[in-house]
């Protein structure tokens, strides 16, 4: 059957259409996305303003039309941190439902981490052993660890690349003092969680997902996305440590000229790099393998697991 996942994230609203049935891997059929940047549309009270809600509703309508055009039989709509943490989240969800008919399921941060972990586990298989999975989104950082399909530990921290850029790095290029302050903040937040994971033992395989990690790997020399899903890509901590000071001195336009970096994401690449570097350092990770599957695929896999054969 043809499934659609509608992901209302902090940066983008993304419809992923796949052909799928239980026991088989989902095959991508279509992708439709719009950069809405909900996390940056919050007002001083933490609410998504009328313009932001209107843009969200219009974007959902466009995604519904695309889903209909592509023959989607079952739509799985969900929202993550930007909607979850908005002070008017209930009002936003009600308006979206009233005006589009779409009832967005708001995932908790822990659910995001667990579903992303499931996707990574299915991608790498049982032979990968104990997995440590890192995912940097627009609004949050998810960390999960385990041997099975359900992680033994899963946390979500408010360390998304978009959120941190908006709150900590107003300059372009950023003020070095602001970068230093953000670095301290990020490392303090992550360090609080390390003990929860270290007691579980050393992972056999470290996995990184998300656009931020993919772009950081690409500028560090990893293969292009055009080379296909099955090319192994990794991000080494030493390469990342070399890139952070270089990114600090660049403007957003200059970062957009780097290989694999989109104009829409270039402004928040430095914040993402600081989070990635801190996580890899504090968890003692020398290299992380990039996984092409993440939260959206996890949502699809969970849905397939509950379908009758």
Total structural domains within the chain: 2
Q: 177 with 267, same domain?
A: yes
In this prediction, what percent of the chain has a pLDDT beyond 90? 89
pLDDT of residue 131: 98
Q: 101 with 147, same domain?
A: no
Q: 186 with 263, same domain?
A: yes
Q: Which two tokens stand for residue 196?
A: 């929860």
Q: 122 with 256, same domain?
A: yes
305 within a domain of the structure (yes/no) = no
Residue 37 has pLDDT above 90, yes or no: no
Q: 148 with 62, same domain?
A: no
| Mean pLDDT calculated for residue range 195-217 | 96
Interstrand relation of 131-136 and 27-35 (parallel, antiparallel or unpaired): unpaired
Q: 141 with 263, same domain?
A: yes
pLDDT of residue 42: 80
The residue range of the domain holding 130 is: 109-295
Q: 144 with 81, same domain?
A: no
| pTM of this structure | 0.95
Residue 231 has pLDDT above 90, yes or no: yes
Q: 22 with 138, same domain?
A: no
pLDDT of residue 309: 63
Q: 119 with 185, same domain?
A: yes
CATH at 266? 3.30.420.150
Q: 205 with 245, same domain?
A: yes
301 within a domain of the structure (yes/no) = no
Q: Please, is 28 exposed, middle or buried when counting C-beta atoms within 10 Å of its C-beta (0-12, 13-18, 19+)?
A: middle
Confidence band for 39, pLDDT divided at 50, 70 and 90? confident
180 within a domain of the structure (yes/no) = yes
| Mean pLDDT calculated for residue range 114-118 | 98
CATH at 8? 3.30.420.40
Helix axes 269-282, 211-219, angle to 10 degrees: 90
Q: 3-state SS of the chain?
A: CEEEEEEECCCEEEEEEEECCCCCCCEEEEEEEEECCHHHCECCCCCECHHHHHHHHHHHHHHHHHHHHCCCCEEEEEECHHHHCCCCHHHHHHHHHHHHCCCCEECCHHHHHHHHHHHHHHHHCHHHCCEEEEEECCCCEEEEEECCCCCCEEEEECCCHHHHHHHHCCCCCCCHHHHHHHHHHHHHHHHHHHHHHHCCCCCCEEEEECHHHHHHHHHCCCCCHHHCCCCCCEEEHHHHHHHHHHHHCCCHHHHHCCCCCCHHHHCCHHHHHHHHHHHHHHCCCCEEEECCCCHHHHHHHHHHHCCCC
Residue 102 has pLDDT above 80, yes or no: yes
Q: 152 with 230, same domain?
A: yes
Q: 118 with 152, same domain?
A: yes
């Amino acid at each position: 059957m043809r499934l659609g996942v509608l992901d209302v994230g902090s940066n983008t609203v993304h419809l992923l259409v796949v052909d799928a049935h239980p026991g088989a891997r989902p095959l991508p059929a279509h992708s439709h996305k719009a950069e809405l940047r909900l996390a940056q549309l919050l007002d001083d009270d933490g609410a998504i303003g009328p313009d932001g809600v209107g843009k969200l509703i219009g974007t959902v309508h466009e995604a519904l039309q695309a889903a209909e055009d592509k023959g989607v039989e079952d739509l799985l709509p969900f929202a993550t941190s930007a909607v979850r943490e908005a002070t008017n989240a209930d009002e936003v969800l009600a308006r979206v439902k009233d005006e589009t008919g779409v009832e967005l399921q708001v995932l908790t941060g822990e659910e995001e981490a667990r579903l992303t972990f499931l996707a990574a586990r299915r991608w790498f298989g049982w032979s990968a052993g104990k997995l440590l999975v890192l995912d940097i989104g627009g609004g949050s950082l998810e960390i999960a660890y385990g041997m099975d399909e359900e992680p033994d530990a899963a946390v979500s921290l408010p360390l998304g690349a978009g959120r941190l850029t908006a709150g900590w790095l107003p300059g372009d290029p950023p003020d070095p003092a602001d970068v230093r302050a953000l670095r301290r903040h990020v490392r303090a937040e992550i360090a609080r969680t390390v003990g929860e994971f270290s007691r579980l033992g050393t992972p056999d395989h470290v996995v990184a997902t998300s656009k931020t990690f993919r772009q950081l790997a690409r500028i560090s020399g990893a293969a292009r996305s055009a080379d296909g899903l099955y090319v192994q890509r990794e991000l080494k901590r030493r390469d990342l440590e070399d890139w952070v000071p270089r990114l600090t001195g660049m403007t957003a336009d200059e970062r957009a000229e780097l290989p694999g970096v989109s104009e829409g994401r270039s402004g928040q690449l430095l914040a993402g790099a600081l989070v990635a570097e801190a996580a890899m350092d504090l968890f003692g990770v020398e290299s992380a393998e990039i996984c092409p599957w993440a939260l959206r695929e996890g949502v699809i896999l969970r849905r397939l697991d509950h379908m009758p054969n």
